[in-house]
Amino acid sequence: MSDTAFPAIDRWWPHLDIEFKHEILADLDAPLSRQAVAEVARLCHTADVKHPVALSEQDKGYIRTQIELVD
């Protein structure tokens, strides 16, 4: 993640629109699009999120655990 006060991923990933999830999953190493960042800010009722935002290794790990199939 960048130096900005980006909300914790567990606050927004479960609620994020599937289109943004697909966009992020297409390249976990790419910075989030302005639209995705704006949607996260909206979901978390935050106005101070600055672009660009990249996912941390911890964020990527969280996402991977959320998409794994559970037996």
pLDDT tens-digit series, residues 21-64: 999 999 999 999 999 999 999 999 987 777 789 999 999 999 99
Domain count, the chain: 1
**Would the pTM count as exceeding 0.85?**
no
Rounded alpha-carbon distances, angstroms, from residue 41 to 2, 32, 35, 65, 68: 15, 12, 10, 23, 26
38 alpha carbon, distance to own chain's centre: 11
The first and second tokens of residue 12, run together, are 């927004």
The first and second tokens of residue 49, run together, are 């999120």
**Structural domain includes residue 2:** no
- The pLDDT score that the predictor gives to residue 2 is 42
Residue numbers of the domain that contains 23: 9-67
**Structural domain includes residue 4:** no
**Structural domain includes residue 1:** no
Q: Reduce the DSSP state of residue 2 to 3 states and report it.
A: coil
- The pLDDT score that the predictor gives to residue 5 is 75
**pLDDT grade for 3, boundaries at 50, 70 and 90:** very low
**Structural domain includes residue 31:** yes
